[in-house]
Amino acid sequence: MAERFEALVLHQEDGRTVPRLESLSTDALPEGEVLLEVLCSTLNYKDALAITGAGKIVRSFPFVPGIDLVGRVVASSDPAWRPGELVLVTGWGMGERHWGGLAQKARLPAAWLQRLPEAMTPRRAMAIGTAGFTAMLCVMALEREGVRPGDGEVLVTGAAGGVGSIAVMLLARAGYRVVASTGKAESGPLLRELGAEQIVDRKSVAEPGAGPLASARWAGAVDTVGGPVLSGLLKAMRYRGTVAACGNAGGVELHTTVFPFILRGVRLIGIDSALAPMAEREAAWARLARDLDPDKLDRLTSVIGLEEVAAIAPRFLEGKVAGRIVVRIDPNA
Ligand SMILES: NC(=O)c1ccc[n+]([C@@H]2O[C@H](COP(=O)([O-])OP(=O)(O)OC[C@H]3O[C@@H](n4cnc5c(N)ncnc54)[C@H](OP(=O)(O)O)[C@@H]3O)[C@@H](O)[C@H]2O)c1
């Protein structure tokens, strides 16, 4: 029987994206084998692009955004999932092409679900969310490319943001010497608590010198910013250093030369979390559950209600958000 639920719904009006809290019927949900009661969701940079309409993330309206959720199975036509089980979903086009997690109910393909890691609460899982999962994929890429803790300093750009702050924690925990690049001087003390040895201003990373190469400093880098920051850090990579590039908060263009690649053997590795295969997800989330200090994670997380989402989303695009934002959908979660 159809039930009613609250959702953040995006509409397109006079060429603008307009978010509104609405009551919907479960009949309106898109197709999928599993009906979920959503407990928590998050706000990521991509959600902000979708909710404000600043990025062409959503193409059909009305639409429910939200690229992450933790939910409880209500009903499933796929025997892999039973009512009452707690599940985690990030990416797969949820919140982009398929209605997402910023609602009390969601209906999804069974193949997108993974079990909530044991001993992880819904709220902590969403404090990690796509941002933390992406940070983990970046760290795993550096490891795979042979960047070792003794090799020298590893840079994290956009360090005060969601992906950046969790990357700082994960790299420090793995024994790397972490340097955090940020435009927010006030975030320095927290970044040090999370494990950064040094804080540098993002301008100094973007402009390490006028030539095609600068003095070699970074053994590895996690870049969440792109644009001039990525161009600058490429110039300052050490011999055979690796950059894991996942973001574009500072620009989508990349102006560089071939010299970092052909003279220093620098590797530029692209990271995508949305369509990462399930085996990689399971491995990454098992490590996130093991390696992240829950108290530190709590310190960089704020919790908001669904009714606050529309007002907060534009702050991401102004670069004003620090840390992670969890959206509590079920008041008891
Ligand atoms: N590839 C993937 O699968 C994937 C997954 C998740 C996220 N992402 C991308 O990764 C990026 C970070 O996501 P997030 O959720 O962590 O966002 P976020 O919390 O908004 O963090 C982005 C950070 O980038 C820095 N920044 C913002 N505007 C900037 C500008 N104009 N110039 C230079 N730096 C700027 C700021 O850090 P400071 O103030 O510390 O400099 C900001 O906190 C986004 O571009 C997002 O789309 C990609």
232 lines ligand 1 (CB under 6 A): no
Compute the distance between CA of residue 21 and CA of residue 48 in angstroms, rounded to an integer: 16
Share of the chain above pLDDT 70, in %: 100
Ligand 1 contact, 165 CB (< 6 A): no
**88 alpha carbon, distance to own chain's centre:** 14
Ligand 1 center from residue 55 Cα (angstroms):
14
Interval between CA 224 and ligand 1 midpoint (Å): 5
Q: Which of 44, 157, 222, 327 to mutate to test the pocket of ligand 1 (most atoms within 8 A of CB)?
A: 44
Which ranges in the chain are annotated with CATH 3.90.180.10?
4-116+300-328
Nearest CA to ligand 1 atom 21: 161
CB 66 within 8 A of CB 313: no
Mean pLDDT over residues 236-250, rounded? 97
Q: What is the mean pLDDT of residues 202-223?
A: 97
Q: Please check the confidence at residue 333 and state whether its pLDDT lies above 90.
A: no
CA distance 55 to 247: 14
* 274 Cβ inside 6 Å of ligand 1: yes
pLDDT for 85 equals: 98
pLDDT (0 to 100) of residue 119 = 85
CATH class belonging to 131-270:
alpha beta
How many A from CA of 288 to the centre of ligand 1?
Answer: 20
CA distance 152 to 56: 39
Is pLDDT above 90 for 45?
yes
* Beta strands 237-245 and 16-25, pairing class: unpaired
Ligand 1 near 134 CB (within 6 A): yes
pLDDT at residue number 1: 79
Q: Name the band, by pLDDT with cuts 50, 70 and 90, for residue 94.
A: very high
What pLDDT score was predicted for residue 196? 98
Nearest CA to ligand 1 atom 35: 250
- Residue 145 in this model has a pLDDT that exceeds 90: yes
Instruction: Show the tokens assigned to 1.
Output: 């029987």
Mean of pLDDT values over 25-47: 97
Angle among Cα 114, 116, 122 to the nearest 5 degrees reads 130
For the chain, report the end-to-end CA distance as a whole number of angstroms: 25
What's the CA-to-centroid distance between 165 and ligand 1, angstroms?
10
Could you read off the pLDDT of 154-172 as tens digits, one per residue? Answer: 999 999 999 999 999 999 9
Q: What is the structure's pLDDT at 240?
A: 97
- Closest Cα to atom 42 of ligand 1: 161
Q: Is the CB of 202 under 6 A from ligand 1?
A: yes
| Whole-number Å distance between alpha carbons of 52 and 70 | 23
Tell me, yes or no, if the pTM score tops 0.85.
Answer: yes
Position 319 scores a pLDDT of: 86
What spacing in Å lies between the alpha carbon of 29 and ligand 1's midpoint?
Answer: 30
Supply 267's token pair: 């590797």
Kindly state if the Cβ of 41 falls inside 6 Å of ligand 1: no
Sheet hosting strand 196-201, strand order edge to edge? 196-201, 177-182, 153-156, 218-223, 237-245, 267-270
Query: Would you place residue 325 in the very low, low, confident or very high pLDDT band (cuts 50, 70, 90)?
Result: very high
Q: What's the CATH class of domain 4-116+300-328?
A: alpha beta
**Cβ(184) to ligand 1 under 6 A?**
yes
Mean pLDDT over 272-299 rounds to 97
